[in-house]
């Protein structure tokens, strides 16, 4: 420690400052010169020196002071201070009064608080001395600086708490992975507090770090992702140049190895076994195989193929892109009886090989696949996919026309029975022998009606009827010459009256339902009776020509010319057709002008059967019209009230009373005969009115005096009336006449009599009252 002291000699005065800081630097400022004279101890010469003012400009103070007392900074003192307390020291500037305090009597400066250089490293302060009595400054105000000396109180800090990096696997030694960076808040210009050195605490021997730059590099060659994919490296940053006592910080770096295609696919086993039923259709999956590849993504993509083997044409393999498996499928129909075991050589190859690793070997692998075929009960198999049979149309019933053959493909060779699918032969024209499959005819054939028959034959195993198969059989009916030719159409032939001999008047042609293999060819000739016909002849096998000059309508208006038509097939068939030739008047050019009426009325080409059919159609139409009219009329007369519960009575009132049936004197028959007493024009309420027709009136009965006959006639009329309702009608004739000689027959008045009445007189009234006489006249018998 150095102590500075200034002493006032002669007239000058000085302010002393005594800083208590080690290794302190000072800079002297000379405000003015002052001569000082004195004697030396040796030679007594006069000494001269310059007068100085404030003798400091900066102080140094350690940060983070942790002592028990306040930290002493320095002391302010002036030569004017006599020690009597008349001067007062004042401190202003950065932190004055809070961080830095001064003893105003002695001028001692202390740091009141712990200081942090990283917060503020420099404080500028001003000092002055004041006379307490006058308040005047005894010295000019002077400025000084307090610098905070740095200590190593901050450890290095990384820019990230955790780093993430990745490199391809199999990278070489020294491959750069990532660079980490740490910073230190201490003063880099003072000592080694901020000098950082990097080192690796965890991650060796796989990685290393550059101590100065913090770059992490690989330390081992050929690191494989398949062995280890994730690495955690811990890096330390230490200040003080890495020396002992320095502060340090750490960070974690997670390093991932990226996959490369450095591994070929490998089958876990050399041989695979599969089985398939022989009935498996093409495309059926039999099983899956997989070659394992430890790589990832497209580096593990594998393509499967069949390299060789005796089943390469029977089976196929496809690659499942999602699971990287090979799916073995059936390519063709299998047959246990033909081959029971197949062997395949399957190859698995990487689709994206990496050229850098081709020297490691071929990136593919092979395996042996054995497939056994299982026998199943199969349906019968026909010898052909279809059969074509030709038969003459004149073949006899029962004739065998062909045979179908089927057999059981299984080893057991079960017996087969044959049948015809009747849905394809509804007319049952054909049949088959169930034992040998021979087809025969059951009904006559007619090529002209049906030239082809397509039937289905079914073959079924006898021991297992569920096993059956079908085969189409196409039967062609061969034509034989069994139809005679005939004219192609009806010819309306005429000959002119002025025709010349040798004139062609008609060209004819024929048709035949048969189809000879060499085509149709017809021959025409006149019947033998007309071979020497004086009027017409046939030439060139198809032309009708005149044989004389002139024809007369008056003598012969129509000629009938029979012609025989032959075909050219075997056996030869022929028919006779008749040409009707009319004689007509023609102009000079041969154009017909008119023919006689008789000729015009000849049949116009319609046969008798056609005319009968037309007549029947007309009759049927007339019958339908009549029935329709009758039904329409009946519908009009249907009663308006159709409910079976609504039954009404029709009451006819004649508004007159008579004396009974036998009171002919009191009964006025004229009232019944009076047409005015009848309701002539009343409309019935239960029948649809027919306003367009006149009301039916019955024949007058004026001359008929028999009432019974009159009533019977009316009953008959109502019974025969089609418009009468189906229920009973009550007709009341209200004319009774005078009192009957029988008096009242009611039993109600018998209670008023004093005794029993005598009904014996009833037996005198005749047979009509016999029943009453028996009932009331038999009193004695009842008593008995």
List the structure tokens of 190. Answer: 């003072």
May I ask the CATH class of domain 381-478?
mainly beta
DSSP 526-565: E-GGGTT-SSEEEETTTEEEE-SS---TTT-SEEEEEEEE
Distance from C-alpha of 51 to C-alpha of 34, rounded to nearest angstrom: 4
Closest residue by Cα to residue 641 from 631, 633, 653, 649: 649
Q: Give yes or no for a contact between 480 and 514, defined as CB atoms under 8 angstroms apart.
A: yes
Q: Give yes or no for a contact between 329 and 352, defined as CB atoms under 8 angstroms apart.
A: no
Span 634-645, pLDDT tens digits: 776 555 444 444
Distance from C-alpha of 216 to C-alpha of 677, rounded to nearest angstrom: 141
Span 120-159, pLDDT tens digits: 777 888 888 888 888 888 888 888 887 777 677 788 999 9
Q: Give yes or no for a contact between 320 and 288, defined as CB atoms under 8 angstroms apart.
A: yes
Residue 696 has a pLDDT of: 45
Question: In angstroms, what CA-CA distances link 618 with 588, 615, 622, 623, 624?
Answer: 45, 5, 6, 9, 10
Q: Give yes or no for a contact between 452 and 477, defined as CB atoms under 8 angstroms apart.
A: yes
Q: How many Cα atoms within 13 Å fall on the side-chain side of residue 757?
A: 15
Q: Give yes or no for a contact between 79 and 13, defined as CB atoms under 8 angstroms apart.
A: yes
Q: Give yes or no for a contact between 19 and 28, defined as CB atoms under 8 angstroms apart.
A: no
| Angle, CA of 333, 339 and 343, to the nearest 5° | 90
Distance from C-alpha of 114 to C-alpha of 65, rounded to nearest angstrom: 6
Q: Omega before 584 cis (within 30°)?
A: no
Closest residue by Cα to residue 258 from 232, 291, 224, 290: 224
Question: In angstroms, what CA-CA distances link 367 with 24, 268, 289, 315, 372?
Answer: 88, 9, 9, 15, 17
Categorize the per-residue pLDDT at 71 as very low, low, confident or very high, splitting at 50, 70 and 90. confident
Distance from C-alpha of 656 to C-alpha of 660, rounded to nearest angstrom: 12
Closest residue by Cα to residue 91 from 70, 69, 113, 108: 108
Span 522-538, pLDDT tens digits: 888 888 876 666 788 88
| 3-state secondary structure at position 595 | strand
Contacts from 448-451 at CB under 8 Å and sequence distance 24+?
Answer: 448/483, 448/513, 448/514, 450/477, 451/476, 451/477, 451/479
Span 84-103, pLDDT tens digits: 878 888 888 887 878 888 88
Question: In angstroms, what CA-CA distances link 281 with 273, 331, 339, 725?
Answer: 20, 8, 16, 79
Give 462's DSSP letter.
S
Is 58-149's fold the same as 381-478's? yes
Residue 680 has a pLDDT of: 46
Closest residue by Cα to residue 678 from 660, 662, 694, 702: 702
Residue for token pair 């000085």 = 14
Average pLDDT along the chain = 77
Residue for token pair 């990745």 = 166
Query: 543-546 and 592-595 as β-strands: parallel, antiparallel, unpaired?
Result: unpaired
Residue 440 has a pLDDT of: 95
Question: 486-594 belongs to which homologous superfamily?
Answer: Cadherins (2.60.40.60)
Chain centroid to CA 660: 95
Distance from C-alpha of 437 to C-alpha of 431, rounded to nearest angstrom: 10
Residue 774 has a pLDDT of: 77
Residue 660 has pLDDT above 60, yes or no: no
Backbone torsions φ then ψ of 708, nearest 5 degrees = -60, -45
Question: In angstroms, what CA-CA distances link 473 with 132, 406, 427, 460, 507?
Answer: 146, 13, 16, 16, 45
Question: Which strand (E) or helix (H) includes residue 176?
Answer: strand 176-179
Q: Give yes or no for a contact between 563 and 577, defined as CB atoms under 8 angstroms apart.
A: yes
Residue 241 has pLDDT above 60, yes or no: yes
Q: Give yes or no for a contact between 602 and 582, defined as CB atoms under 8 angstroms apart.
A: yes
Categorize the per-residue pLDDT at 10 as very low, low, confident or very high, splitting at 50, 70 and 90. very low
CATH of 271-374, one of 2.60.40.60, 3.40.50.300, 3.20.20.70, 3.40.190.10: 2.60.40.60
Residue 243: Cβ-neighbour burial (10 angstroms; 0-12, 13-18, 19+): exposed
Distance from C-alpha of 695 to C-alpha of 702, rounded to nearest angstrom: 20
Residue 303 has a pLDDT of: 93
Residue 12 has a pLDDT of: 27
Q: Give yes or no for a contact between 485 and 449, defined as CB atoms under 8 angstroms apart.
A: no
Q: Give yes or no for a contact between 488 and 532, defined as CB atoms under 8 angstroms apart.
A: no
Instruction: Provide mean pLDDT across the span 28-47.
Output: 37
Show Cβ contacts of residue 127 under 8 Å, excluding neighbours closer than 6 positions.
Answer: 54, 76, 89, 90, 91, 102, 141, 142, 143, 144
Q: Give yes or no for a contact between 251 and 156, defined as CB atoms under 8 angstroms apart.
A: no
| Higher local confidence (pLDDT), 40 or 558 | 558
Residue for token pair 């050229």 = 355
CATH of 157-258, one of 3.40.640.10, 2.60.40.60, 3.90.420.10, 2.30.110.10: 2.60.40.60
Helices of type H across 646-769: 669-673, 707-720
Question: In angstroms, what CA-CA distances link 679 with 152, 639, 683, 695?
Answer: 147, 20, 9, 11
Categorize the per-residue pLDDT at 4 as very low, low, confident or very high, splitting at 50, 70 and 90. very low
Span 374-417, pLDDT tens digits: 988 889 999 999 999 999 888 999 999 999 999 988 888 889 99
Q: How many Cα atoms within 13 Å fall on the side-chain side of residue 252?
A: 6
Give 344's DSSP letter.
E
Instruction: Provide mean pLDDT across the span 449-464.
Output: 93
Q: How many CB atoms lie within 10 A of CB 768?
A: 9
Categorize the per-residue pLDDT at 728 as very low, low, confident or very high, splitting at 50, 70 and 90. low
Distance from C-alpha of 488 to C-alpha of 241, rounded to nearest angstrom: 129
Residue 222 has pLDDT above 60, yes or no: yes
Size of the chain in residues: 784
Residue for token pair 């400052």 = 17
Q: Give yes or no for a contact between 660 and 688, defined as CB atoms under 8 angstroms apart.
A: no
Residue 576 has pLDDT above 60, yes or no: yes
Third-level CATH fold of 58-149: Immunoglobulin-like (2.60.40)
Domain range summary for the chain, segments of one domain joined by +: 58-149, 157-258, 271-374, 381-478, 486-594
Residue 233 has pLDDT above 80, yes or no: yes
Residue for token pair 């004041």 = 130
Residue 42 has pLDDT above 80, yes or no: no
Residue 439: Cβ-neighbour burial (10 angstroms; 0-12, 13-18, 19+): buried
Backbone torsions φ then ψ of 291, nearest 5 degrees = -95, 125
Residue 363 has pLDDT above 50, yes or no: yes
Is pTM, for the whole model, over 0.85? Answer: no
């Amino acid at each position: 420690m150095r102590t500075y002291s200034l002493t006032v000699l002669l007239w000058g005065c000085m302010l002393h400052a005594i800083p208590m800081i080690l290794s302190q630097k000072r800079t002297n400022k000379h405000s003015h010169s002052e001569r000082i004279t004195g004697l030396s101890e040796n030679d007594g010469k006069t000494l001269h020196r310059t007068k100085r003012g404030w003798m400091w400009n900066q102080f140094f103070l350690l940060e983070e002071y942790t002592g028990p007392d306040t930290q002493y900074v320095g002391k302010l003192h002036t030569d004017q201070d006599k020690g009597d307390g008349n001067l007062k020291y004042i401190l202003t500037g950065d932190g004055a009064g809070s961080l830095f305090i001064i003893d105003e009597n002695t001028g001692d400066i202390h740091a009141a608080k712990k200081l942090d250089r990283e917060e503020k490293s420099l404080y500028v302060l001003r000092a002055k001395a004041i006379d307490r009595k006058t308040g005047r400054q005894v010295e000019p105000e002077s400025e000084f600086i307090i610098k905070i000396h740095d200590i190593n109180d901050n450890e290095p800090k990384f820019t990230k708490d955790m780093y993430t990096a990745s490199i391809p696997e199999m990278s070489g030694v020294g491959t750069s992975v990532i660079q980490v960076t740490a910073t230190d808040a201490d003063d880099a210009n003072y000592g080694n507090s901020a000098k950082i050195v990097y080192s690796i605490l965890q991650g060796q021997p796989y990685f290393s770090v550059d101590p100065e730059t913090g770059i992490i590099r690989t330390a081992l060659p050929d690191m494989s992702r398949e062995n280890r994919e994730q690495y955690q490296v811990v890096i330390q940053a230490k200040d003080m140049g890495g020396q002992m006592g320095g502060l340090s910080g750490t960070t974690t770096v997670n390093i991932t190895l990226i996959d490369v295609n450095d591994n070929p696919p490998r089958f876990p086993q050399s041989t695979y076994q599969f089985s398939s039923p022989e009935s498996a259709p093409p495309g059926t999956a039999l099983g899956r195989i997989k070659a394992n590849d430890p790589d990832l993504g497209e580096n593990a993509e594998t393509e499967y193929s069949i390299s060789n083997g005796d089943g390469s044409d029977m089976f196929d393999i496809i690659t499942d892109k999602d699971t990287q498996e090979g799916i073995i499928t059936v390519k063709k129909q299998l047959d246990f009886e033909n081959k029971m075991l197949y062997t395949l050589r399957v190859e698995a190859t990487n689709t994206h090989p990496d050229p850098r690793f081709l020297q490691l070997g071929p990136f593919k692998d092979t395996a042996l696949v054995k497939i056994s075929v299982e026998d199943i009960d199969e349906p019968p198999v026909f010898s052909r996919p279809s059969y074509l049979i030709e038969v003459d149309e004149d073949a006899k019933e029962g004739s065998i026309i062909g045979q179908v053959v089927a057999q059981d493909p299984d080893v057991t060779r079960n017996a087969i029975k044959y049948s015809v699918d009747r849905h394809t032969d509804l007319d049952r024209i054909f049949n088959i022998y169930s034992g040998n499959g021979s087809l025969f005819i059951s009904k006559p054939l007619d090529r002209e009606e049906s030239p082809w028959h397509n039937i289905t034959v079914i073959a079924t195993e006898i021991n297992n009827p569920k096993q059956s198969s079908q085969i189409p059989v196409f039967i062609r009916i061969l034509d034989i010459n069994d139809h005679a030719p005939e004219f192609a159409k009806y010819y309306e032939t005429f000959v002119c009256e002025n025709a010349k001999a040798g004139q062609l008047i008609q060209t004819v042609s024929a048709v035949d339902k048969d189809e000879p293999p060499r085509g149709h060819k017809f021959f025409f000739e006149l019947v033998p009776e007309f071979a020497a016909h004086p009027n017409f002849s046939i030439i060139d096998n198809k032309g009708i020509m005149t044989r004389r000059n002139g024809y007369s309508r008056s003598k012969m208006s129509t000629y009938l010319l029979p012609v025989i038509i032959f075909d050219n097939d075997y056996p030869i068939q022929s028919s006779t057709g008749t040409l009707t030739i009319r004689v007509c008047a023609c102009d000079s050019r041969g154009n017909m002008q008119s023919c006689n009426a008789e000729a015009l009325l000849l049949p116009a080409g319609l046969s008798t059967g056609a005319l009968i059919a037309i007549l029947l159609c007309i009759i049927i139409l007339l019958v339908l019209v009549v029935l329709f009219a009758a039904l329409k009329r009946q519908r009009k007369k249907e009663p308006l009230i159709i409910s079976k519960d609504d039954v009404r009575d029709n009451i006819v009132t004649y508004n007159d009373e008579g004396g009974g049936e036998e009171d002919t004197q009191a009964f006025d028959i004229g009232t019944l005969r009076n047409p005015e007493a009848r309701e002539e024009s009343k409309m019935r309420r239960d029948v649809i009115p027919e306003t367009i027709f006149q009301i039916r009136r019955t024949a007058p009965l004026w001359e008929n005096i028999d009432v019974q006959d009159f009533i019977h006639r009316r009953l008959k009329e109502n019974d025969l009336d089609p418009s009468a309702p189906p229920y009973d009608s009550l007709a009341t004739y209200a004319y009774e006449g005078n009192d009957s000689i029988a008096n009242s027959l009611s039993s109600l008045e018998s209670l008023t009599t004093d005794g029993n009445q005598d009904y014996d007189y009833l037996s005198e009234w005749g047979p009509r009252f016999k029943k009453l006489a028996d009932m009331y006249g038999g009193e004695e018998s009842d008593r008995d």
